[in-house]
Amino acid sequence: MSDVPLGDADLLARHVDGDPDAFAELVRRHRDRLWAVALRTLHNQDDAADALQDALLSAYRGAAGFRGGSAVTTWLHRIVVNACLDLARRRSVRPTQPLHDNPDSAPTAPDAIAGRETSLAVTAALRTLPAEQAAAVVLVDVEGFSVNEVAEMLNVPTGTVKSRCARARARLADQLRDLDPRRSGNEPPAQRVQSPAQYGEEHA
Amino acid sequence: MSSDRPPFHEGPADTGQDHLSMDEIADLDEGLLAPERTSAARAHLQRCDECSARARALADTTAALRGLGPISMPTDVAQRLETAIAAESEAGSPRLHAVPSGAPEPAIARGQATTVVPDLGEVRARRTGRPSLAASAAAVVAILAISAIVIGHGGGHHNPSLQGANAPGQTLNGAVGASQSVRPVSTGRTYTPTNLASLVPGLLEQQTPASGGSTAAGLPVPGASSPDRVGAAGAGTAASGAGTTSAGTGAATNKHNGTQPSGSAPTAAAVPRTQFAPLTTSATVPSALARYRTSGAALIDCAQRFAPTLGAVPEVVDFGRWTNKTASPPIRHEPALILVFADPVNSGAVDVDVVAAGCDNASLLTYKQVSVPG
């Protein structure tokens, strides 16, 4: 392959100029990240797929409006996360109930919380967050966008982003702590998170 | 968003000093605590093993979040997206490919595009399922029929062929007859996050039936004189490049309507749009919004993207402006459509979408449910 891969902005420009394949290539390039954001915000695959399709078609049609003031990935994330929140808001999606309300589900073995298991547990615990909190903490902590960038994406003040992230981290930390015998001592788990397997997620 | 948890009091060896909740520690990390509370919290963390353990748990959680990677998109989802994008590409996107920059945008562009793929309003409607309070019985029947189609296909509503049957244009055709109307007003007001809830109820009261208002007769609406032909007239006007009629009188509109070559706006001509009532004030419509003013089809297509239920039309639309100084970057006097929908669940409230002129998924400036009296 002697061709230097085109940059995202070049691909988008080609799309606006009428290249029929450029946008699909752009999507292929970023779909796993965008999928992760949608899934971690909306907590189920059907909703994530719906929101992502809406968002990407909107981006397809609105690409001429991209001003280049931010990275293409930031622009795409903005559209995707807002489509997700819009869907969640309209549906009044309730976060998945923690397991203490659902005693039939098997908790993750407490001694399994280490290393990779921790990330799986975090992933599962994300399901219990309201969409706004999940979106904020995923964009900032997982995706690595700055608080300012996320505030712009979500069209909220930076303080709101910080607050949502803080709420989300606290909620996640409380749940993970309850799973971890080294930290929770003899206390019985107050809350348990759902088995990561039920999340249907595999790390790439 | 505030914590819904009570202050944290835990542990048998509590010496009387309040421990820090996980929320407070998280706030401390983000610099959200008040200054005096910050120093007290730091001091407490220094000497309290329990709370410092909690702080470590929080740090571990943040580290775990940072360690999460992307998730491989399932093959079926990837395939579905590729198909949707390919369909969009084959249908052509008049916005992107056929319109020279700076030229007036054909008002039917969105309508064509959304016949390929269901828009946001439909996605929402599949789940919320209740029509606008103002919807006619015919609308209810049409919505139920479409729901049945979707359900009957076992969730396979993203099959492109089914999308064709479920297209907004056809939905409108059945669901929106002459009995419904959108009442646009132009107050010239600038809305903000703080005044929205107080201004919207007045907006609803201000809009009165067109037949009863003397102001209505004085301000004929271009392209709106013939309710059944609104979509065609609006689309034709914009598509023919005569996009300067937004502030013009309506005197020539009927003639224009009658002489419009049918071939220039085939989609819109085939799809009668909702009735379009006259403006109730003479405030100037921001030029960025003019196309929604001159084309009922463009306005309805835009509104449908944000409608809480399938086929719902707004109770009232104000051509206003939006200011949000706390946004980053701040938004000042941005031309915006104020779309006021009946809330599908709560009859004592309306759903207000403030939408920028672009009218895509990134255009939602704010969404708010506003209580209305009565």
Parse chain A into domains and list their residue ranges.
Answer: 7-93, 97-199
Q: What percent of chain B has pLDDT over 90?
A: 16
Chain A residue numbers with beta carbons less than 8 Å from the beta carbon of B157 are: none
pLDDT at B130 over 90: no
**Segment B250-259 long-range contacts (CB within 8 Å, at least 24 positions apart):** B250/B219, B250/B220, B250/B221, B250/B222, B250/B223, B250/B224, B250/B225, B251/B220, B253/B220, B253/B221, B253/B222, B253/B223, B253/B224, B253/B225, B254/B225, B254/B226, B256/B223, B257/B223, B257/B225, B257/B226, B257/B229, B257/B232, B257/B233
- The total number of residues shown for chain B amounts to 374
Chain A residue numbers with beta carbons less than 8 Å from the beta carbon of B80 are: 49, 53
The candidate with the shortest Cα–Cα distance to A54, out of A33, A96, A26, A85, is A85
Amino acid at site A65: G
Q: What percent of chain A has pLDDT over 70?
A: 74
Residue, of B116 and B274, whose pLDDT is higher? B274
Nearest to B88 among A57, A151, A173 (CB): A57
The pLDDT of residue B127 is 33
- Interchain pair B81, A202: CB under 8 A: no
Q: What is the band of B313 on the pLDDT scale with cuts at 50, 70, 90? A: confident
Residue with tokens 């748990």: B57
Strand B316-324, strand B331-342: pairing: antiparallel
- Interchain pair B96, A61: CB under 8 A: yes
A91 touches chain B (CB under 8 A): yes
pLDDT at B297 over 90: no
The pLDDT of residue B314 is 86
Residue, of A20 and B133, whose pLDDT is higher? A20
Q: What percent of chain B has pLDDT over 70?
A: 49
- Interchain pair B21, A170: CB under 8 A: yes
pLDDT in tens, B329-365: 778 888 899 999 888 777 888 888 898 888 876 788 8
Range B149-165 average pLDDT: 34
- Interchain pair A78, B362: CB under 8 A: yes
Mean pLDDT (chain A) is 78
Residue, of B110 and B95, whose pLDDT is higher? B95
Mean pLDDT (chain B) is 61
SS3 content of chain A, % helix, strand, coil (to 5): 70, 0, 30
Test the A interface: residue of B38, B54, B65 with most A CBs within 10 Å: B65
CA of B68 to nearest chain A CA: how many angstroms apart?
Answer: 6
The pLDDT of residue A133 is 95
Nearest to A183 among B53, B72, B101 (CB): B53
The pLDDT of residue A103 is 31
The pLDDT of residue B147 is 36
pLDDT at A151 over 90: yes
CATH topology classification for A97-199:
Arc Repressor Mutant, subunit A (1.10.10)
The pLDDT of residue B357 is 87
CA of A83 to nearest chain B CA: how many angstroms apart?
Answer: 6
A44 touches chain B (CB under 8 A): no
pLDDT in tens, B228-287: 333 333 333 333 333 333 333 333 333 333 333 333 333 333 233 344 444 445 567 778
- Interchain pair A180, B327: CB under 8 A: no
pLDDT in tens, B190-206: 898 888 888 888 888 76
Select the highest-mean-pLDDT range: A1-10, B20-29, B193-202, B209-218: B20-29
CATH topology classification for A7-93:
Rna Polymerase Sigma Factor; Chain: A (1.10.1740)
Residue with tokens 């309730």: A94
A43 touches chain B (CB under 8 A): no
pLDDT at B58 over 90: yes
Q: How far apart are CA A127 and CA A107, in angstroms?
A: 15
A120 touches chain B (CB under 8 A): no
Q: How far apart are CA B340 and CA B370, in angstroms?
A: 9
